[in-house]
Structure formats: C-alpha cells, structure tokens
Amino acid sequence: MSGVSLQGLVKTYGDIQVVHGIDLEVQEKEFVVLVGPSGCGKSTTLRMIAGLEEISDGDLSIDGRFVNNVAPKDRDVAMVFQNYALYPHLNVAENIAFGLRIRRESKAVIDASIKEVGEILGLTPYLGRRPADLSGGQRQRVAMGRAIVRRPKVFLFDEPLSNLDAKLRTQMRAEIKRLHNRLGVTSIYVTHDQVEAMTLADRIVVMHDGRIEQTGTPMELFLNPVNTFVAGFLGSPPMNMINARIESGDNGPIARFGELSLALVDTPTMRDAIGTDITLGIRPEFVTVSTQADTHGTIPVDVELIETLGSEALIHATLQGEPFIIRAGTVGQMDVLNGISGFSVEPNLIRVFDAKTGMALPDQVMKQ
Amino acid sequence: MSNMNLYSRGDKLFVIVNMVLIAIFMLSTLYPFIYIASLSLSTGFEARAGNVVLTPVGFTLEAYKQVLSEPQFWTSYKNTFIYTIFGTLMSLAFIIPGAYALSRPQLYGRRFWNLTVAFTMWFNAGLIPFFLNMRDLGLLDSYFGIIIGFAVNGFNIILLRNFFEAIPQSFEEAARMDGANEFQVLWKVYMPLSKPAIATVALFCIVSRWNGFFWAMVLLQDEDKIPLQVYLRHVIVELSDDEEFANSLLTSAYSFETVSAAIIVCSIIPILLIYPFLQKYFSKGILLGGVKE
C-alpha cells in the first residue's frame, strides 16, 4: 500500500518551531492537497516528506516503511517544483531521462520510457527542444514527465501551477487531474490557491501557522468549515462574516445584529447557546437577492458595485457598514440585480461560529 | 542624433564629456599596441633614431626573421603554452570543486572556510617565504612547480562561488531526488549551468598564466623551461650588454628595439586571437554574483 503516514511531524529552525506536529494519513492512490496562506508550513511539510528538509521530530512512513532518515533518492518519491527545475542545457528527452541515466538504466529502458512519457503528456514533437524554446505549459508538462518517468510510489507537487497565467493554470489543473486518474499514483499537492485545492483534491488539508485546521473532502470543507479560518479561506469570494448574538425569537433562536435579525436552525445546541456572542458565516452564493428590503426576513444592504463576470455577478454591498458580497446568476436577472436592496438566506445555509473561539457551534451539518 | 532632443542640456554635456573621456582612454590603451607593432616593422636605424611614431618607417620584416630563427624563442613559446594550458586546467580542477564546496549551505564551518579563502586575496606570505617554501618542496626549476604553485586563486574561487550560490536551489534538489550524489550534482548540473562563469574564470587564468612573468623569473633558472615573458626579459636585459649582438646590429636591418618589439607582438598574438571569442565572458565576469536571477 503506497500510502504516506505523518505522525506528529515537527520542524524547527534553531529555536523557532514552524511545523507543530502534523498528523495525516494519505491513502494509496489518494490526491491530497495541502492548502494555506504563505508561511503556514505546507511547503516545509512537503519538503520533509521529500527528504529535502530534516524532520525535527515525529515519524514519517511511506508505503509502510519508516523513512525519517532515508535519503530523498531512496524514498521512491518524485517531486514537481514550482519553478520546474528543468535543466536548461538539456533537451526535453534528456531532462525526462535525467533520473534514469543517474540510476544507470539501460538505453532500451530509457528510450522506451521517454517515448511512453512523451505520448502520455503530448510532448513527442518537442523531445529535441531545450526548455527555453518551450511555452510555460509545455515546461510544466516536462517537469511532470520527469517525475512520472521514474514510476515513483508518491508524487509531490510544490505549487506547480503558480508560475502560469490564469488560462493555462485552468488547463494544466485538468491535465494533472486526468494524469492522476490515469496513473493512480498517491499524490500530495501544495498550493495557496483554494480553487486548485477544491478542483484537484480527493481530500483537502487546510493548514495555518504550522498546524492542520481541518481535513476533509472539498465539499465537506466548503459546507462545514470547523472554524472561521477555514470558512474564510475556502470559497471565492470568501464567506461573509457578521458579528451577532443569539437571542430567543418567536419561532426559535435568532441571530441579532443591531436592529436586524436572521432566523437560525432550531436545534438544542442553538437553543443552549442563546445569549452567546457569535459570528455568522454566510456564503455569497447561498443568499437570495431581493428588490424589496422591507419584506419580512429580508436583510437590507447598500449596493456599492456590481462586477459582471458573464453568467454570474459579484455584488459588493455593505451591511451595517461592513462589506458583504453576494454572488448571483445574471441570465435574465440583470434587472433584479440592478435593483437589489436586500437579501434573505435559509437558516440551514447559515454557519454559526463562537465569536470568542472562532470554532463552529456543534451539530451543524450542511448536507452535500 | 534626433534622440538627443530627449535629453536636457546637462545630460548632453554628460554624454559629451563621457565620449571624450572614453576616447582618451581608448587611445591611451590602443597607442602602445600600434607603436610596438610599427616599431617591430621598422628598420633598426629608424627605430634607434626615434623616428617611429605611428606607422612603420622603412618597412622591413628583418626583426621577425631574427626572432623566429632563434631556437630559444620557440622553446620559451612552447613553455608558455604548456604553463597556460596545463596551469589553467589545474586551476579549474581546484577552483571549481572549491567554489562548489564553499557555496553549499550545509558545509560545516562554511563561514570560516570562506574567510580563509578571502584572506588570501589580501594577505600572502611574501616573496622570500614563498620562494623558500617552493625550494623545500623541490619545486624550483620545474614545470610542475609553476603549474601547481599558482593553481589556486582566492578571487576566482569567490567569483565562482557567488555564481554557484545564485543558481536556484531547486536544480540541486531535483537532481538529488533523481538520485544524483554530490559529485554528480556538480558535474551534471552545476557545471553545465555555470559555463559562462567557468569560461570567465578560465579566461582570467589563461591571461594571468600567459602574462605570468615575475614568479617564473624567480623560480626558473633553466633556460629550457622559461616562458616567453622571461625570455623577453633576457633579450632586453642581456642582449643590450652583449657586444657580439651589438656588433651584428651594425650590419643588419634590425635593432635591439625592433627585436624586442617583434617578440612582444608575437607574445600578444595568441591572446589577441582568442580574445574576440571570449570577450563577452569578460564583461559578464565583472557582473558575476552581483545580480540574483
């Protein structure tokens, strides 16, 4: 089983600890994405798995083998680097074959491998070219070719798409996913881009300040973030946050903020939390826009700007002076969008967090 | 010159002053070449009379005939090639691994070793201790002494180290993950990536070896081993006192001055021939390590 197991993985530089004990089990053939802001320790964790950084404490196993003190070349992992690390003095075929030559594979094996990888990645016409003569996307594919040619047990990707333009990034994202489906190799992918994380991952690991905040499938994390950090990090635009207090309403608990209020789901936990200061999390796409602010249950907003993206639009508004973003469809709706004066939201689409701890109140499960 | 309209008066003045200064500098560098070449092609009489200023006077190739017919000239020419070629190879064999080691962040005591190398750029043992050292090592009057004795140069090591340090770490990491050991990382990744820097260092070595005069004079007595520069000195110092040579000048079209000039021209030619091909590395070399890419 070519899984990867991290148990209490710690990294310290001198007196400074940057990764504070990571526990993670990556299953065989799984595509796991480590995501988080700059400096959250995701790259360091990946480099510890690769063997490029020494592990200060904790255990790392690959395919059931304890590898803390095993050299990178003997861990049977391959890595795709952010800047591709293609050797400029070698052509595409030589770049792909570099690892095989170092390992003194026979010429027949090398030639067959280059041919196979060239075909898998559509690089056959470019095998004789130098990296400088390739486009960004082609370079990226060569970097992947260099990784897959060795048939490693685990692929490691360190922000491999961050040097590409937006269009190419979308294209390469799909290619990476297709490649993973085809080869079925366990993959660990690091990115700060939550869109990449959402689209590629079987499972996402959100990291912050050297710790794991939450692990789960993209939809689990999107719908049921455990805290305000995850809620704010995943989703584009991020979740709207409103400071409020739980009070008792006519039909169950409500969230009151200033003069306004929103109905919450009527659960025992919510009723127990009456009187608690909370943060309401409302996804921009979960609200229903309204042109009549005075309707019951509608929260009035002041629209500042509408960004039209084509099939949908981002409405930048303010709610009691704080920014509030709404995402809505545009087709046949432009008249409505231009006249927006408020929104409503179903109670079960509101995520409630404890204002002090930032943690989601228990027993809230939004179904996929 | 229409672009000059974009410049202010101060800018124009600056450009003009620059051009004048560069022209003066260029002429002051170029003139000795022209003068020596003209001198070597002039008759001995005109040369001695000081009539040669810019172009050859009484054009003759006699000085060259005299120089090229002298076996000692060819011996020392050959020696200069030996010292230059093998000396440069020996230097690179020390400088490249040395610079690579000093560029490694994981080198134990890296700061100390870097300081030690840099120290030799400003301080050395001095003439007599060095001579005694070479004598005690049995390296006087030997090809090997000259080749090994000046193989390592702190400046070149630091220069190449800076270049190695500017190479993105991911190249090394990718190679290590592919299974390359330290030697393979240097040989298959760093050296090919550093061709311009290595060419620059090689050029510095070639030029200093080719022009190397002082230590060859101090360490070599055997006439069969002296390089061209030392031979030139012999000609200048010894032949001027040589009565037989002086007598021969009375009847010949060459002179002491034209022969010396002809030897100088002969010694410049090889460097002059390779320089256009390597010139770009010289200017690159000055910027080495100054800019991180």
Separation of alpha carbons A76 and A78, rounded Å: 7
* Interface check A89 vs B, CB under 8 A: yes
Min distance A102 CA to chain B CA atoms (Å): 6
Residues of B with CB under 8 A from a CB of A: 168, 170-171, 173-180, 184, 188-189, 192-193, 195
In the DSSP assignment, the letter for residue A132 is G
Q: How confident is the model at residue B213 (pLDDT cuts 50, 70, 90)?
A: confident
Instruction: Give me the residues of A, 35-54, that contact B with CB < 8 A.
Output: 50-52
A82: left (phi over 0), alpha (psi -120 to 50) or beta: alpha
**Residues of chain B contacting residue A130, judged by C-beta atoms under 8 Å apart:** none
The better pLDDT of the pair B195, A55 is held by A55
DSSP H/E element including B24: helix B9-40
Going from N- to C-terminal start, the domains of chain A cover 4-226, 237-354
Residue A186 has pLDDT above 90, yes or no: yes
CA-to-CA dists, residue B233 to A25, B29, B268, angstroms: 78, 22, 15
- Averaged pLDDT score across all residues of chain B: 86
Residue A363 has pLDDT above 80, yes or no: no
Q: pLDDT digit string (tens) for A4-38?
A: 999 999 999 989 999 999 999 999 999 999 999 99
Residue B181 has pLDDT above 50, yes or no: yes
**Bond prior to A238 in cis (omega within 30° of 0):** no
Count of other CB atoms within 10 angstroms of residue B165: 15
Q: pLDDT digit string (tens) for A119-141?
A: 888 899 999 999 989 988 889 88
Min distance A85 CA to chain B CA atoms (Å): 5
Q: So what CATH class is B72-219?
A: mainly alpha
Q: How confident is the model at residue B184 (pLDDT cuts 50, 70, 90)?
A: very high
Residue range(s) occupied by CATH 1.10.3720.10 in chain B: 2-69+229-273, 72-219
Residue A147 has pLDDT above 70, yes or no: yes
CATH of domain A237-354: 2.40.50.140
CATH of domain B2-69+229-273: 1.10.3720.10
* Interface check A257 vs B, CB under 8 A: no
Q: How confident is the model at residue A315 (pLDDT cuts 50, 70, 90)?
A: very high
Average pLDDT over residues B135-158: 90
**Residues of chain A contacting residue B198, judged by C-beta atoms under 8 Å apart:** none
Min distance A75 CA to chain B CA atoms (Å): 9
Whether A4-226 shares its CATH topology with A237-354 is answered no
pLDDT value at residue B291:
37
Separation of alpha carbons B56 and A351, rounded Å: 96
pLDDT value at residue B290:
42
pLDDT value at residue B214:
87
Min distance A86 CA to chain B CA atoms (Å): 7
pTM confidence score: 0.81
Please state which of the ranges A60-69, A168-177, A249-258, A290-299 shows the lowest mean pLDDT.
A290-299
The answer to whether A102 contacts B180, with C-beta atoms less than 8 Å apart, is: yes
**Residues of chain B contacting residue A83, judged by C-beta atoms under 8 Å apart:** 168, 170
Residue B111 has pLDDT above 80, yes or no: yes
Q: Which two tokens mark B154?
A: 């702190």
Q: How confident is the model at residue B289 (pLDDT cuts 50, 70, 90)?
A: very low
**Pick from B159, B165, B193, B164: which is nearest to B284 by CA?**
B159
Average pLDDT over residues B30-55: 88
The answer to whether A81 contacts B174, with C-beta atoms less than 8 Å apart, is: yes
Average pLDDT over residues A51-76: 93
Place of tokens 């974009």: B6
Taking one residue from A and the other from B, the number of pairs with CB-CB distance under 8 angstroms is 57
pLDDT value at residue A31:
96
DSSP H/E element including A77: strand A77-80
CATH topology of domain A4-226: Rossmann fold (3.40.50)
User: Burial, B277: exposed, middle or buried (Cβ in 10 Å; 0-12, 13-18, 19+)?
Assistant: exposed
The answer to whether A73 contacts B188, with C-beta atoms less than 8 Å apart, is: no
